[in-house]
Amino acid sequence: MRYSGFRVIKEALTGHKGWTAAWRDPEPQTHYDIVIIGGGGHGLATAYYLAKKYTKKRIAVLEKGWIGGGNVGRNTTIIRSNYLLNGNEPFYELSLKLWEGLEQDLNYNAMVSQRGILNLFHSDPQRDAFVRRGNAMILNGADAELLSVAQIRDRYPFLDFENARFPIKGGLAQHRGGTVRHDAVAWGYARGADQHGVDIIQNCEVTGFRIENGRCKGVETTRGFIGASKVGCAVAGSSGRLMAKADMRLPIESHVLQAFVSEGLKPIIPGVITFGAGHFYCSQSDKGGLVFGGDLDGYNSYAQRGNLPTVEDVCESGMALIPALGRSRLLRMWGGIMDMSMDGSPIIDRTHIDGLYFNGGWCYGGFKATPASGLVFAHLLATDTPHEVATEFRFDRFRRGYMIDEKGMGAQPNLH
Amino acid sequence: MIINHPLLGPRDAQEFTYLGDASLINRPDWQATDAQDQFYDYLYLRNNPAGLHRELWFHEIGDRSWLVVTRDTVTHEITKVEMASDVAKEPGRNQ
């Protein structure tokens, strides 16, 4: 069924009896050509682009809970492509371009809102670094503009410009950045994939891989064995847990990241703002809640909740940037599990096991990457060669010394 | 989280900084013939378990000792705290 304004009016006049389920709930078959583990944004996007662009083969997405119940439903919904390094920026710029056409492509309202993102800087060296980054973005076809303090004052009068320790000296803006309704991304991709014949199988947890003579033959699940010629894993957050079943050790640690939403307020914050002197970012949702977050808790964790010292730290950073924040009350907060890789960049690659493919290590930048991640992982699964914008996201980059370390932190995952 | 320091008693985890898996104590021998592979494993690969995890914490705002904390990564419950120097000396090292 195609969604449209006309359809909404027609259904409203006929008692909403014509709507059908957005995707089927099929029983798993005994064999698929391609099985994708993980019914989150990346897994569903992979299935969608595989079925739409690359192959007519039989494809299934296996999800242990319900689709969109993991990190795609637990993030702070920001999209942007303001990266520095050549290994990253073309990929994220492709992702942003895909976001721009996503709703028409999927025929689904994902509420893509390009309200802009502003990265503030507070010192001269930081300005130099941001100028360099802006130039790298422009060279890769993205948009970037350096804003003066006067320009920022005009649009964001509520910021603490005269903070004694961290006065605002300017900012780097990407006007095409913004926010997206995150759940709708999962639902839109699920509906699109389903329409192209993908079986989305929920409540089906993968308990093991069947590997014979170095080749993956399928997966053991809570709903029985499912054979597959190729298996793609897209379970960022739980990558360590899943790949351990294939006896793989990854260059990844799992960490907990907390996020926060305030009570609903009238519009105050246009776009997304990030603090340059601490780790804090904030936007306002369409419902009016201020959505913000900051640093990781900093220790390995698979618990989807964090601890109070980080809450205090994030709120202190927020108060240093936006003093008015202190007048709003926190509505809710939650934690999500991040695949923190050793250089802060993702991995989309074949594994040493034939027929087993891996997509993970998204650190806390997975949401914005969803469309491009799906596209390039689909490309890899279909053609066995990396997509041209993902040639550096390889497993062996650590062994070879070709890290994509945006922050220059080295192999210390909780600092990326 | 409260870390029960073997010398100082229960201390708030805020006083500590976190390094990572306790296997980082065992730096490979740089003169070994397969040192390159060993260092790749040591530096980049992690077991990253969901469950009990032995990990290094540094008492930065305290006595500046390194501790090996055994903690459940699913519940955050801490079951054992040892001095890292004791753990390091166990296999027969002198420091």
Give me the domains of chain B, ranges plus CATH numbers: 2-23+40-89 (3.30.2270.10)
The closest CB to that of B73, out of A251, A298, A301, belongs to A301
Rounded Cα gap, residues A172 and A276, in angstroms: 10
Closest to A88 in 3D by CA, of A156, A42, A142: A142
In this complex, do B75 and A299 lie within 8 Å of one another by their Cβ atoms? no
Contacts with A16 (C-beta within 8 Å, 6 or more apart), sequence order: none
Alpha-helix residue ranges (DSSP H) falling in A110-159: 124-139, 149-155
Phi and psi based region of residue A385 (left: phi greater than 0; alpha: psi -120 to 50; beta: remaining): beta
Residue of A nearest to B36 (CA): A399
**Residue B10 pLDDT more than 90?**
yes
pLDDT at A56: 80
**Helix ranges restricted to H, A209-329:** 239-243, 308-321
> Nearest-CA neighbor of A312 among A273, A276, A258?
A258
Q: What is the pLDDT of residues A192-240, one digit of tens each?
A: 999 999 999 999 999 999 999 999 999 999 999 999 999 999 999 999 9
Residue ranges of chain A whose CB lies within 8 Å of a chain B CB: 238, 240-241, 244, 249-254, 298-303, 307, 309, 342, 398-399, 411-414
Cα distances from A22 to residues A5, A18, A192, A194, in angstroms, run 17, 12, 9, 8
Q: Reply yes or no on whether the pLDDT at B92 is more than 80.
A: no
* Residue B71 C-alpha, separation from nearest chain A C-alpha, in angstroms: 9
Test the A interface: residue of B46, B61, B68, B71 with most A CBs within 10 Å: B46
Residue where the block lists tokens 């670094």: A129
Q: Is A373 helix (H, G, I), strand (E, B) or coil?
A: helix
B75 contact residues in A (CB cutoff 8 A): 303
- How far is it, in rounded angstroms, from Cα A329 to Cα B81? 38
Instruction: Write out chain A residues lying below 8 Å of B20, CB-based.
Output: 253, 300, 412-414
A254: nearest CB among B43, B48, B76: B48
A22, A111, A366, A192: CA torsion to nearest 10: 30
Helix, coil or strand: residue A150: helix
Structure tokens at A193: 């994939």
B1 interaction partners in chain A (CB closer than 8 Å): 307
**B19 to chain A: which residues are within 8 Å by CB?**
412
Q: Which of B19, B44, B75 sits opposite A251 (nearest CB)?
A: B44
User: To probe the interface with A, which of B16, B37, B48 has the most A CB atoms within 10 Å?
Assistant: B48
A394: number of Cβ within 10 Å: 18
Residues of B in contact with A254 (CB under 8 A): 48, 50, 73
d(CA B62, nearest CA chain A) in Å: 17
A363 Cα to chain B: minimum distance (Å): 14
Q: In this predicted structure, what is the pLDDT of residue A1?
A: 86
Among B12, B41, B48, beta carbon nearest to A240: B48
Amino acid at the residue A311: V
Cβ–Cβ < 8 Å for A221, A204: yes
Helices (H) and strands (E) in chain A, counts: 10, 18
Chain B nearest C-alpha distance from A242 (Å): 10
Which stretches of chain B sit within 8 Å of chain A by CB?
Answer: 1, 12-14, 17-21, 40-41, 43-50, 53, 55, 71, 73-76
The domains found in chain A, sorted by start residue, are 20-77+182-246+343-415 (3.50.50.60), 99-178+253-341 (3.30.9.10)
Give the per-residue pLDDT at B95.
67
Phi, psi for residue A238 in degrees, rounded to 5: -110, 15
Beta bridge partners of B88: none
**Cβ contact A364:A388 at 8 Å:** no
Cβ of A300 within 8 Å of Cβ of B48? The answer is yes
Structure tokens at B1: 């989280």
Chain B nearest-CA residue for A412: B19
Residue A215: Cβ within 10 Å count? 12
Q: Nearest by CB to A302, which of B12, B47, B50?
A: B50
Per-residue pLDDT tens, chain A, 416 aa: give them: 899 999 999 999 999 999 999 999 999 999 999 999 999 999 999 999 999 999 888 999 999 999 999 999 999 999 999 999 999 999 999 999 999 999 999 999 999 999 999 999 999 999 999 999 999 999 999 999 999 999 999 999 999 999 999 999 999 999 999 999 999 999 999 999 999 999 999 999 999 999 999 999 999 999 999 999 999 999 999 999 999 999 999 999 999 999 999 999 999 999 999 999 999 999 999 999 999 999 999 999 999 999 999 999 999 999 999 999 999 999 999 999 999 999 999 999 999 999 999 999 999 899 999 999 999 999 999 999 999 999 999 999 999 999 999 999 989 999 98
- C-alpha torsion angle, residues A334, A311, A280, A262 (rounded to 10): 60
User: Which contacts qualify for A399-406: CB closer than 8 Å, 24 or more apart?
Assistant: A399/B40, A399/B44, A403/A342, A403/A343, A403/A345, A404/A85, A404/A87, A404/A88, A404/A343, A404/A344, A404/A345, A405/A85, A405/A343, A405/A344, A405/A345, A406/A83, A406/A84, A406/A85, A406/A88, A406/A344, A406/A345
pLDDT (0 to 100) of residue B91: 81
Cα nearest neighbour of B18 on chain A: A299
Distance CA A128, CA A94 (A): 26
- Rounded to 10°, the helix A124-139/A89-106 angle is 60
Please tell me the distance from the alpha carbon of residue A413 to that of residue A251, in angstroms, as a whole number. Answer: 9
Residue A416 to residues A21, A180, A370, Cα–Cα distance (Å) = 41, 24, 20
> Which of B17, B46, B74 lies at the smallest CB-CB distance from A253?
B46
pLDDT in tens, B19-77: 999 999 999 999 999 999 999 999 999 999 999 999 999 999 999 999 999 999 999 99
C-beta separation of A387 from A376 below 8 A: yes
A192-208: burial string, b at 16+ Cβ within 10 Å, e else: bbbbeebbbbbebebee
pLDDT of residue A3: 96
The closest of A225, A230, A207, A183 to A64, measured between CA atoms, is A207
Q: What distance in Å separates residue B86's CA from the closest CA in chain A?
A: 22
Q: Which of A244, A251, A300 sits opposite B53 (nearest CB)?
A: A300
Which among A295, A299, A313, A316 is the top mutation candidate for probing chain B, defined by the most B β-carbons within 10 Å of its own β-carbon?
Answer: A299
Chain B residues with CB under 8 Å of A303 CB are: 73-76
Minimal Cβ distance to A249: which of B19, B47, B50? B47
Chain A residues lying within 8 Å of B12, measured CB to CB: 309
